[in-house]
Structure 1
Amino acid sequence: MRMETARVLYLKARSVILSASPDYVRLYDPNAKLPQIGARHERSHLVTPIATLLRSCGPDDEDVLLNSRAYIEACVLMAEASFDQVRHLQQSVKDLQGERGSAEKPKDYAAQCAMACDKPAFRQWLSSVHGADTSDRERIATFIRDKLDIGSRAELNTDAEAADRWKALYADFEVWQRTGQ
């Protein structure tokens, strides 16, 4: 059985079991001389035959038929408990990842900026979009410091507003790069 089929059958079983007779009992049809399965009605407690078992029905098959409601209820209960446990574990993993994420070292924007300034595409963008003189590293660094209003790239790691300005500038570059320059 494929998982998708199992999922559909599980949902149907979970729904149908609520409306099925709450209790099945073994009966005997004296006229046909065959065993039967009867359903006990919840309110009246009357038992009505719902299936006649042929002689070829083995004891295991009879057991499955007679106890099918209890077996399905047990499976649904176990599945629901398992789903709850999985959800709990998933939340625990998310919580741990959040704790680990907050404990991780902050992003090094100064290093990101230095590496970007060495990229030919970034230098081309600075020149064509911002009119920057990109003839050497010092001119590029000076332009970036002026553009971001910082004294040194190290401020990108200590000043949140400077870091935000850098992130916005770099995001503009990435958009320019994706759109084909």
Structure 2
Amino acid sequence: MADTEGMHLEVSGPDDREIICSLPPSCPADNRELIRRHIDIPADLIGMLDAAARRDAKRCREIGQLRQALKSKGGKPAKDYAAECTMKCADTAFRRFLMERHELPHPATATTATTRVKSILAITSRTELNESPAAAEGWRIIIQEFETWRREG
């Protein structure tokens, strides 16, 4: 299509025709002819950009879904809370915290500390820390309390 503004190159899209290039009257005739004869090149480039934009939008949606799933798990990647519990219960400072804040009887051992943690969280096995969201949340709260106690301590 040509008008007083120059020559416009159009492509047919899924909805309607779209101007993809406007050449002013001052554009040399050879350049206008080159672009006119090879209109498929810019059209293909625009198609590739559209496809890339669709892929990018899809990836952004997937990232959003993954972030939402991560947030629903407490905002942290899956963690082996059962193993962490074993290590914390073997820690003298953690056992002292349980004695002071959660009525763990003295003398405290790793075994009695583990039993007390399971009692506090109302679970029968440490593996529930990895399987039950409620138990995992309770464990994270205990760890937060422990860290606060240690800083104040």
TM (normalized to structure 2)?
0.49
State the structure with more CA Rg: 1
TM (normalized to structure 1)?
0.42
